Structure 1
């Protein structure tokens, strides 16, 4: 039986590499992402990136935390863009390390556009998105033959009815597939009500997975009608992935 031998040689890419770090556990980053990270001279990271990997960096690596904590510390995206450009112009190998995947609610493309406008070379290394990785690790498939043929990933950071929301909640209520909600803890009750108003059953199974892939992971199952109350009684805090649909009950009967 042959084995795969991987040598992590320093990368020669001069510019900024956006690395999706995966759901949170250090061993869920891709090989390409790890290779870029270990070759970096500057690492710009945030609170959802795999923190354990940062301990593997050489002491000479400049580590910059640009955390965006809800209702607390906040680094403006424009400041992050400027920081990436500044370090790249110094000739440094820069890695922007994010949780999940850069392009799934990670603002990665905003950073790509800013870097391109500044004439900075940029490349993207995708990561395992928390929207499918976290449910899978918790035993919840987002699709299953004979149960559901589609799934929709939705940001819940704005309440249904908010003037800035781009989500068609009544349309989601009419669909039959799985809904995966992220950034939705605060608005979970209002979202559940909107989905029920749109046609979803009050008894539809829901799985709430907080701190997915980490030792502190919790999985709470409930129904759509009770989702808002359960978020409060169970003291669920972000980050959490909420899976709405029949798949949420599979394997948990």
Structure 2
């Protein structure tokens, strides 16, 4: 894709610096121009498991690629090791692209990596990306907000913090009654759902499970909170998966007849 010079100016990508870049939820068309520019100029790309092959295909053929994916329940690089690797690569005077699925600062550990770089004296740039909780819903025909249904939207991580402690007050979120988008929470759905109901959320509240958001393989299953708890599968769906809970799901049916699929 060619862009008129007057419309877009590439930012300096200096050797010895790190760009923390959001690759979006999967569809390469959702990359920002700055993200695409970084892909084409980086010397080394340290990428997550959730960065799609189609996004990686846009990278320079001369760029070295280092996998640093983290998947729940599977052997993964520690966050400390990833951060140290970014520092080490920058100190080799390389242009380092840390490429993350979604947005670096929304459940992407980008804040931890930025802090490690700052403490090491390494200069970095942050390039936001479209998080799956926004882009994925849009591709599925679910408006994240609507005057008909909600004035708030809660993005929440379904897995516990790094120390294993769940600090989310799910009962309070149930009492809030606003739509929820839960990342990485499918395996804990019975527990989370039970606590939401204990907080006051009706078991009849609409729930959707969205998998492989924005990709051609995207799928969505609609049910209710109570039914999802009762019918929870022993084996989780193919990651990545989002759980959407709330009245915004109802809006999808007015759009489906003319919604163009990914």
TM-score under structure 1 length normalisation: 0.91
112, 135, 145: which one pairs with 1:133? Answer: 135
Instruction: Please list every run of 5 or more consecutive structure 1 residues that lacks an aligned counterpart in the other structure.
Output: none
How far is the alpha carbon of 1:8 from its aligned partner? 7.7
For residues 119 and 231 of structure 2, the distance between their equivalents in structure 1, rounded to whole angstroms, comes to 46
1:115-170 Cα deviation digits (max 9, x unpaired): 111111111000011111111110011211121111111111139xx971111111
1:5 maps to what in 2?
A: 4
Is 1:241–2:242 an aligned residue pair?
A: yes
Inter-CA distance 202–9: structure 2 relative to 1 (3 Å threshold): closer
User: Contact 2:144–2:153 at 8 Å: present in 1 too?
Assistant: yes
1:1-253 aligned at under 5 Å gives the runs 5=4, 11-14=12-15, 15-158=17-160, 164-232=165-233, 236-252=237-253
CA deviation profile, 1:170-210 (whole Å, cap 9, x unmatched): 11011121111001010011111111111001100011100
Contact 1:185 1:238 (8 Å CA) reproduced: no
SS at match of 2:253: coil
Judged with a 3 Å threshold, the aligned counterparts in structure 2 of structure 1 residues 250 and 235 are, in CA distance, closer, same or farther, namely same
Q: Deviations over 1:208-249 (max 9, x none)?
A: 100001111110000010113444189523211111001112
For structure 2, which runs of at least 5 residues remain unmatched after alignment? Answer: 255-262
Output the CA distance in 1 between the equivalents of 2:4 and 2:101: 26
Partners of 1:152 and 1:180 within 8 A in 2: yes
Match of 2:24, SS state, is coil
Whole-angstrom CA distance in 2 between matches of 1:57 and 1:8: 19
Q: Deviations along 1:26-51, whole A, 9 cap, x unmatched?
A: 11111111111211001000111132
How far, CA to CA, are the matches of 1:204 and 1:53 in structure 2? 36
Q: 1:9 to 1:175 in 2, by over 3 A?
A: closer
Stretch of structure 1 that moved more, 88-97 or 24-33: 24-33
Is this contact kept in 2: 1:98–1:106, CA < 8 A?
yes
CA distance in 1, matches of 2:12, 2:61: 18
The answer to whether the 8 Å contact 2:39/2:58 transfers is no
